[in-house]
Structure 1
Amino acid sequence: MRIPSVLTSIISLTLATLVLADAASDVIDLTPSNINSVVDPEKLILVEFFAPWCGHCKALAPHYEEAATALKEKGVKLAKVNCVDEPDLCQAHGVQGYPTLKVFRNGEPSEYTGPRKADGIISYMTKQSLPAVSDVTASNIEEFKKADKIVAIAYLSSPSDAAAVVFQDTAEKHRDDYLFGQSTDAAVIESAGVSTPAIVLYRAFDDPVSVYSHPVTSATVETIENWIAELSIPVIAEVSAENYMSYAQSGKPLAYLFIDPTSETKDEHIERVRAVALEHKAKINFVWIDAIKFGDHAKSLNLAESIWPSFVIQDLGNQLKYPIDQKTEITAVVVKDWVESFVAGTLEPTLKSQPIPETQDEAVFTLVGKEFDKVVSHNDKHIFVEFFASWCGHCKRLKPTWDALGEHYAAAKDHVIMYIFMLFCSRLVSNNLCSAKMDAPENDLPPSVPFRVASFPTLKMKLAGVNEWIDYEGDRSLESLIAFVDEHVKIPLKAPAGNESAPQPNVEFHDQTHDEL
């Protein structure tokens, strides 16, 4: 069949476009025939193992391409392996999920632990390409100060100064996090306006230059890293998957301004909060967040209505939430008063709870947030609680065993009671990294509880007459659970008549660890 000339032209143009598009890519395609010759000679190369059908891989692709082009100028290459076309190659490199990114140094791989957006990849790989501490001279000082969002430079009279050793140790520990340089160039030191030894932090936000205010001669790795960590968090910035962990790891409460990013008054509201944030930054981190994109997260922080802007403080350590009533206008004065009350310890957290069940007819009782303190205050009973999430696969597999355990002790409910307490987990963002997760209980644990639940299912027992909780860490078979109860409960407990021969639930447990959040 003869193909019309117009169609022929279209096909030729399409093929040519595809060829040019492929040729324009700065990401190298790796196969079994070229991987060793491409990867092994490189001092540093980043390799992505991906599957074309993977949604996370598709989302990463444009960022990976952009980073490859930017890093090409720095002499750092990016490559990729199609695991559908090359399954054996991916298996040989221990790939178990997509995308998997590995950093190769002279052919030796290590896990990539950086961000997955273009600027994050560029920043991470730039740090990897440099020594832990780079030499800064008059010819590169201005470029180096702007090479990353956080740049620390030690100005020294000699590379052998005692301060240089501590600074080097700090850099080795945090080379993935920040960019480090040092200079003994007299002209550079003079232009920096400091006396040696000195450490200066250059930032791409807030106050761009900060000088280490304590004597550098007595500095330690801990004091330097704490100083940098404190200054690495902006007064107020947008929170996302890329930067959430820096807030979570700071140990400080997190104050959110939920706002519609398309609102004409967005910047005005942010500036109102900024004034409060400047005053209280030492004790609380402040962020603004896209309320439209992360509406579910707002609900998990007990902001039930889609009313923006809204403001809430979260005590990350204790998983407690302190939202301002959404009917209240978010003004600078309102936020200031709220934050000051929180710092003073006079605010009461808002606790979420399901309704109290009208009846409790099953062997396993349902426990809700409103009744938690009331239930655990019964010191005449032993209480065994499963904390679960409705979506958790391990919890679903445990359910028939937990029900059977409740039936086993049904006749002894005056002494021991089995409870089930549901928690709901809401992720901050849709991301293939589990480092960016946030707990949002459907039933909040009250402040009086001396623990917080970080994985599902979590099993805890409180013995009668004591105020301590015992963690259950054994396997999830009925026999093991019964043995645990019998070991800790010091009174004879009889199961219902005939229950000894009751059939056991046919459930297999391949994973005996918690379902990590």
Structure 2
Amino acid sequence: MRLSLLSSFFLATVTGVLAAEGSDVLDLTAANFETVVNPAELILVEFFAPWCGHCKALAPHYEEAATTLKGKNIPIAKVDCVENSDLCQTHGVSGYPTLKVFRNGTPTEYNGPRKADGIVSYMVKQSLPAVTPVTADKHAEFVKADKVVVVLYATEASEAPVPSFSKVADKHREQYLFGLVTDPAVAAAADVSPPAVVVYKSFDEGREDYPAANVASFNEAHLATWLKEHSVPLLDEVSGENYGSYAESGLPLAYIFVDPTSADKDTVVDSFKGVAKSYKGKVNFVWIDAVKFSEHAKAMNLHEAKWPAFVIQDIAKQLKFPFDQSSEFSAATVGPFVQKFVDGSLEPSIKSAPIPETQEGPVTVVVAKQFDEIVYDDSKDVFIEFYAPWCGHCKRLAPTWDTLAEKYAAVKDKLVVAKMDATENDIPPSAPFRVNGFPTIKFKPAGGREFVDYEGDRSLESLIEFLESKAKNSLVAPPSAGSESAPADTPAASETVVPVGGEKAAQGHVEL
């Protein structure tokens, strides 16, 4: 879908009316949102709060992208959620900034980068058809139009494997730019015999040809996997701008932590290219600024500020495999370590806070070293909160969580109300889930191994209702001698309400 003349007229009209002076970002409110967004074939909208630090950091990149995209007739807009809270709530906004792509009023999540060139690239892909027909006069320009460009050379637009290729393009249009060439002269100039698929890259060799045998027996899933493998550089610097590409690849990520000011930085990085090539398609290799991202190094369980250092992160399972910092560091010594990881014989490093000498307070404190012992106790129902000390939502939940634990203190032999600091403790491999936001609340019934997500509001009343409906054990406290049962809860406690919402946790607890 290319933007129509109507869209061009629409953009020219609303830009003059809605954009603040000196800005190409349109200001939307509850009064004009539908009249602007619904007619637009394509528009990007940011839902923000003026006090939000991440929103302030995004602002200059968003402005720059808006100016570039204005020339391509792709509008960009923003909504102040403090001034338009009902509108933001209607669109399911629970954190800032939230970006959504709207097509004729229908939203989808924006999953692209947060820097200007990345926003432009993402939205340009959204404005094009899933597969762009490429003619002879546009071929040279098209294959350099983005970091990764995928081109199918075919004899006819209606013949195989064009339909299957189009399905892959439709699913992955956010990651790559897809083109179709049916001119035999262009195919000949590209040195291919149709049908053929070529990936053009702005890095490494600059080009990768999909094996001819795979084209002949075209498999959509195989092409998608192959593209993931060949869409990232052999060994590049990783940062917040490109981390998402590595995460989306589905492959483990091997970090070489180096001090960028070190005289031998380039020598160290270059020495790993042979290892990286040996494991291409199995592990992605990157180098990372160890000074700037020292907190990320700690999150990867590298305990000393000693560089260079090496660690493999299984992103999907959130497991970390740091190379012993007391051992000799070189590509030659790290290579066998990587092989052990690939073979599955390497044990992950599990960070754990010390086991508490005593349990103080009504809530049971769980650390990684005791996770299996406490959480997988078959005799008990377990209700556990995973939190971060800096999380505002967690702080507001804390008194309610304490009250909940106090209510069931008399049945601690049947029900454990627990909490675990997910910044100081890794989720062990035995757990069938990962924690991606705070607070995360899970329930494990007695005698079972499956976890149930708690997704209700965080009032004491709702938490009690959930527990009473899910617990396998009886939660009725045995009557104490000579006493009468007290009311289930007090009005003051039942009125304790914490807003629904959460705070995002980056991979490894540290945002790149």
Q: Do these two structures clear the TM 0.5 threshold for a shared fold by scoring above it?
A: yes
Equivalent in the alignment of 2:12: none
1:445 matched residue in structure 2: 427
Match of 2:137 in 1: 139
Larger Rg: 1
Q: Which residue of 2 aligns with 1:326?
A: 325
Range 96-105 or range 317-326, more displaced: 96-105
After superposition, the Cα gap between the structure-2 partners of 1:175 and 1:444, relative to the gap in structure 1 and judged at 3 Å, is: closer
Counterpart in 2 of 1:181? 179
Contact 1:43 1:106 in 2 (8 A): yes
2:318 aligned with 1:336, yes or no? Answer: no
Q: Distance in 2 between matches of 1:315 and 1:82?
A: 37
Cα deviation digits, residues 129-170 of structure 1 (max 9, x gap):
332222222212111111101111111111121211122222
Of residues 483, 486, 490, the one that matches 2:468 is: 483
Q: Say yes or no: does 1:249 pair with 2:241.
A: no
Task: Check whether the contact 1:47–1:102 (CA below 8 A) recurs between aligned residues.
Answer: yes
What is the CA–CA distance in structure 2 between the aligned matches of 1:512 and 1:293, rounded to whole Å? 34
Per-residue CA deviations over 1:353-386 (Å, capped at 9, x if unaligned) read 2222222354433222223344457555555544
Which stretch of structure 1 is more off in the superposition, 253-262 or 397-406? 397-406
Give yes or no for contact 1:365–1:418 (8 Å, CA) kept in 2: yes
The range that moved more, 302-311 or 446-455, is: 446-455
Give the CA deviation at 1:280.
Answer: 1.4
Give the 3-state SS of the residue equivalent to 1:312 in structure 2: strand
Contact 1:397-1:507 within 8 A present in 2 as well:
no
Q: Which amino acid aligns with 2:231?
A: S
The question of whether the paired residues in 2 share the 8 Å contact of 1:457 and 1:515 is answered with no
Contact 2:100–2:109 (CA under 8 A) maintained in structure 1 = yes
1:7 maps to none
Note if 1:471 corresponds to 2:452.
Answer: yes
Name the counterpart of 2:16.
Answer: none
**TM-aligned CA distance change 1:363 to 1:233, over 3 Å:** same
Q: Please list the CA deviations of residues 321-350 of structure 1 after superposition, one character each: whole Å capped at 9, or x if unmatched.
A: 211222334310122121112222232222
Distance in 2, Cα, partners of 1:506 & 1:138: 71
Contact 2:39 2:105 (8 Å CA) reproduced: yes
Distance of aligned partners of 1:328 and 1:159 in 2 relative to their CA distance in 1, 3 Å threshold = same
Output the CA distance in 2 between the equivalents of 1:89 and 1:362: 39
After superposition, the Cα gap between the structure-2 partners of 1:316 and 1:500, relative to the gap in structure 1 and judged at 3 Å, is farther
Partner of 1:5: none
Aligned partner of 1:162 among 160, 163, 178: 160
Quickly say closer, same or farther: Cα 1:190–1:417, change in 2 above 3 A: same
Cα 1:62/1:357, change in 2 over 3 Å: closer
Partner SS for 1:488: coil
Q: Alignment partner of 1:289: what SS?
A: strand
Residues 144 and 274 of structure 1: CA distance in aligned 2, closer, same or farther (over 3 Å): same
Local SS of the residue matching 1:352: coil
Deviation of 1:284 (Å): 1.8
- Distance of 1:93 and 1:479 partners within structure 2: 28
Contact 1:352 1:442 in 2 (8 A): yes
Which structure 2 residue ranges, 5 or more long, are not aligned? Answer: 1-18, 506-512
> How far does the alpha carbon of each residue in 1:237-272 deviate from its partner, in whole angstroms, 9 at most, with x for none?
222333323332333322222222233322222222
Asked if the contact 2:396–2:498 (Cα under 8 Å) also holds between the matched residues in 1, the reply is no
Unaligned runs of 5+ residues in structure 1 are: 1-21, 425-440
User: How far off its partner does 1:177 sit?
Assistant: 1.8
Change (3 A) 1:25 1:41: farther
CA root-mean-square deviation: 4.1
Q: In structure 2, do the counterparts of structure 1 residues 100 and 412 end up closer, same or farther at CA, with 3 Å as the change threshold?
A: closer
Change (3 A) 1:31 1:460: closer
Change (3 A) 1:507 1:302: farther
Distance 1:299 1:64, change over 3 A: same
1:104-132 Cα deviation digits (max 9, x unpaired): 66788766443221221221232233322
Secondary structure class of the residue paired with 2:313: strand
- Size of the aligned set, in residue pairs, is 475
TM-score norm. by structure 1 comes to 0.77
